[in-house]
Amino acid sequence: MNESFEGIVLFKRPYRDNDALVKIFTEDKGTKMFFVKGLNKPNHPLMSYTLPLTKNQYIGTINQQGLSFLREGQSLSMYRHIQMDVDLQAYAAYIVQLIDSATADNEPHATNYQLLEHVLDKLNQQLAPQLITTYVELFLLPQFGTHINLDHCLYCDETKGPFDMSLRHQGLLCSKHYHMDEFRLRIHPNAIYIVQQLHRYALKHIQSVNLDPNLLSELRRLMDEIYKEFVGLRLRSKSYLDQLEKIHDEANLLKSMREKNKKDNQEQADK
Ligand SMILES: [Zn+2]
């Protein structure tokens, strides 16, 4: 039976001859795998409605189990900035895989659908993709079965930093209690502060900010350590994002070295 529904395309992969499987997060019925006959032939009418990271209105048949089918599509959002920007695309691809991993197939999940929708809107506005990514990682932690105390020190009621993170005790240590875990992560306290803020506030409060690259890499190290220890996912989109960030870090380093050289030369010349 045909029905009308809204959904966001998570990914698409080839399947026999020219056919394809398209995974779509539907608003009302959760994540579903769709079979699209001949999708990889040129000028297929569903081509632009099956592009990953787009939101569309569809007409099709949704089955409770097994494959579902698409008949028609209509674009709701192409998220153009994401489609055109390699970096934003890499962040979005990782977030999509993360949300997909946390969401059971074939079951409605309004919370995660709204999260994905909201995140794509935010990324499309080109706002602080690293912070948005961290927000999503924090948001999904309980869904992966991990609860980390980010409100106060584990050993006293200290709510003001500086704090460090203890993976062993799953929470924060204030400077008086650093000694309670010799393997504490030794993360820059400002990175912990950012995580506390992201944990406390809704996604809509995230604005474009210029954060120091060293602080961002501390933030990344913190979240990577938490995910490695408690979640243990190996996502291809994450390795790709890591490589991309590494290239940017190196480019930034080179740029700051060049600027320093230029400044030094200028000072030499002024003498
Ligand atoms: Zn303490």
Q: Give the amino acid at 262.
A: K
**107 and 193 together in one domain:** yes
**51 and 156 together in one domain:** no
Please report which confidence band the pLDDT of residue 2 belongs to, taking 50, 70 and 90 as the band edges: very high
* pLDDT score of 9: 98
Please report which confidence band the pLDDT of residue 205 belongs to, taking 50, 70 and 90 as the band edges: confident
- Please report whether residue 140 resides in a domain: yes
In the chain, the percentage of residues whose pLDDT exceeds 90 is 76
Tell me which residue range forms the domain holding 28.
3-79
Question: How far is CA 21 from its chain centroid?
Answer: 23
CA of 161 from ligand 1 middle (Å) equals: 10
- Please report whether residue 260 resides in a domain: no
**45 and 22 together in one domain:** yes
**180 and 58 together in one domain:** no
Number of domains in the chain: 2
Hey, what are 228's tokens?
């490695």
- Please report whether residue 136 resides in a domain: yes
The H or E element spanning position 7 is strand 3-15
**Quick check: 91 and 129 in contact, CB under 8 A?**
yes
Please write the tens of the pLDDT for every residue from 20-33.
Answer: 999 999 999 999 99
**58 and 102 together in one domain:** no
CA of 159 from ligand 1 middle (Å) equals: 9
CA of 163 from ligand 1 middle (Å) equals: 9
Evaluate the omega torsion of the peptide bond into residue 213 and state whether it is cis, within 30 degrees of 0. no
- Please report whether residue 35 resides in a domain: yes
Strands, E assignment, 49-162: 55-61, 68-77, 149-153
In the chain, the percentage of residues whose pLDDT exceeds 70 is 100
**97 and 223 together in one domain:** yes
CA of 226 from ligand 1 middle (Å) equals: 20
CA of 147 from ligand 1 middle (Å) equals: 19
* pLDDT score of 197: 92
CA of 128 from ligand 1 middle (Å) equals: 32
The domain boundary residue, chosen from 79, 102, 130: 79
CA of 190 from ligand 1 middle (Å) equals: 17
* pLDDT score of 210: 79
CA of 218 from ligand 1 middle (Å) equals: 22
CATH, residue 110: 1.20.1440.120
**143 and 216 together in one domain:** yes
Please write the tens of the pLDDT for every residue from 226-271.
Answer: 999 999 888 989 999 999 888 888 887 788 888 888 888 888 777 7
How many whole angstroms separate alpha carbon 185 and alpha carbon 181? 9
- Please report whether residue 132 resides in a domain: yes
Query: Count of alpha carbons within 13 Å of 74, Cβ hemisphere only?
Result: 6
**229 and 157 together in one domain:** yes
- Please report whether residue 267 resides in a domain: no
* pLDDT score of 130: 93
Please write the tens of the pLDDT for every residue from 111-168.
Answer: 999 999 999 999 999 888 999 999 999 999 999 999 999 999 999 989 998 999 999 9
For the CA atoms of 101, 106, 108, 114, the dihedral, rounded to the nearest 10 degrees, stands at: 40
Query: Count of alpha carbons within 13 Å of 199, Cβ hemisphere only?
Result: 16
CA of 170 from ligand 1 middle (Å) equals: 14
CA of 82 from ligand 1 middle (Å) equals: 42
**73 and 107 together in one domain:** no
How many whole angstroms separate alpha carbon 137 and alpha carbon 214? 20
**35 and 145 together in one domain:** no
Cβ-Cβ contacts under 8 Å for 266 (sequence gap 6 or more): none
Please report which confidence band the pLDDT of residue 76 belongs to, taking 50, 70 and 90 as the band edges: very high
- pLDDT reading at 186 higher than 80: yes
CA of 143 from ligand 1 middle (Å) equals: 28
CA of 165 from ligand 1 middle (Å) equals: 12
β-partners of residue 172 are 153, 165
**187 and 120 together in one domain:** yes
**114 and 7 together in one domain:** no
CA of 142 from ligand 1 middle (Å) equals: 24
- Please report whether residue 266 resides in a domain: no
Q: Give the amino acid at 229.
A: E
